[in-house]
């Protein structure tokens, strides 16, 4: 993990993000479109140590399982104290 430039702010490594917080349950409805979005996603920029805000949009057709909004929010809360490059986010990150 890179160190913050200039003044140093304490933050966790992204290894501290526990994907097990995302609770899923069986739900098979391949014709039902699910979309969740938020502009409240935050992480810590690993270069400056300052807050890094992002817009997140999740879209999918559930084939086998889904998760609740509450579970997704709990997972996202973990990012707010971790050094993470949100600009590199893609489907594989979540």
Q: Report, as residue numbers or ranges, the catalytic residues.
A: 45, 52
Question: In DSSP terms, which residues pair with 63 in a beta bridge?
Answer: 28
Cα 27 to Cα 9: distance, rounded to the nearest angstrom: 42
What's the token pair of residue 25? 């349950």
Round to whole Å and give the CA distance between 34 and 69: 11
């Amino acid at each position: 993990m890179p160190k913050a430039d200039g003044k140093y702010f304490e933050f966790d490594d992204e290894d501290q993000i526990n994907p097990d917080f995302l609770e899923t349950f069986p739900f098979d409805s391949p014709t039902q479109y699910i979309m969740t979005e938020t502009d409240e996603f935050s992480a810590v920029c690993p270069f400056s140590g300052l807050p890094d805000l992002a817009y997140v949009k999740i879209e999918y057709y559930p084939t086998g399982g889904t998760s609740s909004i509450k579970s997704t929010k709990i997972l996202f809360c973990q990012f707010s104290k971790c050094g993470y490059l949100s600009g590199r986010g893609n489907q594989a990150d979540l």
